[in-house]
């Protein structure tokens, strides 16, 4: 390889390396911007706090394997509500039967615009539904007899005073005799949640493909411009 050929080859390698670095930086910037948008969306969807009281059990019963109990609680609620486990935050576990103070955070995924209060009301509905995923999920053994209290917005849009303030609805109380027996309804709800997760995954894949395509097109445009400059110089 002659010296001019070596110089040209080295310059081409350097240009490609710089183009790849610029494309990677553009992709990182796009991901950072997306994360910032998600953070802003999450700030606009505030969390909500609730308390679940497990009657018929004592804190000492679960302290032997507290991490597993916490896992089952977070997993049971998240699966039933269709949110990541990280959106279920345990604040405290206190004696007095078993009192679990927790907070539900918005998932902010895809078109999911539910805030913490919306999730609390959905959780309340699941507790009252004998065939819900929550009542048949991984935490079912602990809610055989449970009491649930939470704070959130009032559901009645005609109540202007309550619409702008947090309120406490009457507690939901359950007993073992109301445990789920309807497998068909549980299966239908599970299939609905699976379909929702599938659509969210497909949307994320499409967005990622578009981002990669945009990065490649940007890098290709820079390559063409460099070639034109070299031709003009020759």
The residue with greater pLDDT, 24 or 182, is 24
Query: Does residue 166 contact residue 152 with C-beta atoms inside 8 Å?
Result: yes
Q: Is 176 helix (H, G, I), strand (E, B) or coil?
A: helix
Confidence of residue 74 (pLDDT cuts 50, 70, 90): very high
So where are the chain's domains?
Answer: 42-181, 183-234
pLDDT computed for residue 84 by the predictor? 94
* pLDDT digit string, tens, across residues 135-153: 898 898 888 778 889 875 4
Question: Which residue has tokens 């981002």?
Answer: 211
pLDDT > 60? residue 100? yes
* 84/14: higher pLDDT: 84
Q: What stretches of the chain show up as alpha helix (H) in DSSP?
A: 3-43, 59-63, 66-81, 116-128, 133-136, 160-163, 183-233
In 3D space, the residue among 179, 180, 181, 150 whose CA is nearest the CA of residue 166 turns out to be 150
Q: What is the pLDDT of residue 22?
A: 78
User: How many CB atoms lie under 10 A from the CB of residue 111?
Assistant: 8
Query: Mean pLDDT in the chain?
Result: 76
Q: What is the mean pLDDT of residues 110-118?
A: 90
The tokens 């959905």 sit on which residue?
122
| Residue 166: predicted pLDDT | 36
Q: What is the pLDDT of residue 142?
A: 87
Tell me, what's the pLDDT at 77?
95
Mean pLDDT, rounded, for 28-50: 71
pLDDT value of position 39: 56
Mean pLDDT of 118-129: 90
């Amino acid at each position: 390889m002659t010296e001019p050929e070596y110089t040209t080859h080295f310059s081409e390698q350097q240009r490609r390396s710089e183009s790849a670095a610029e494309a990677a930086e553009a992709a990182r910037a796009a991901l950072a911007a997306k994360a910032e948008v998600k953070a802003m969306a999450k700030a606009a969807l505030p969390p909500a706090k609730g308390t679940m009281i497990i009657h018929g059990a004592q804190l000492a019963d679960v302290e032997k394997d507290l991490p597993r109990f916490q896992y089952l609680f977070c997993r049971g609620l998240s699966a039933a509500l269709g949110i990541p486990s990280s959106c279920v935050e345990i604040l405290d576990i206190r004696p007095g039967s078993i009192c679990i103070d927790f907070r539900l955070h918005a998932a902010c995924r895809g078109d999911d615009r539910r805030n913490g209060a919306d999730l609390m009301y959905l959780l309340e509905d699941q507790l009252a539904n004998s065939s819900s995923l929550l009542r048949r999920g991984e935490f079912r053994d602990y809610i055989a007899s449970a009491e649930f209290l939470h704070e959130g917005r009032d559901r009645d849009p005609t109540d202007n005073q309550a619409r702008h303030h947090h309120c406490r609805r009457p507690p939901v109380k359950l007993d073992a005799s109301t445990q789920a027996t309807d497998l068909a309804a549980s299966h239908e709800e599970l299939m609905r949640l699976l379909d929702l997760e599938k659509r969210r995954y497909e949307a994320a894949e499409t967005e990622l493909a578009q981002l990669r395509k945009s990065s490649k097109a940007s890098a290709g445009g820079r390559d063409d411009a460099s070639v034109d400059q070299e031709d003009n110089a020759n």
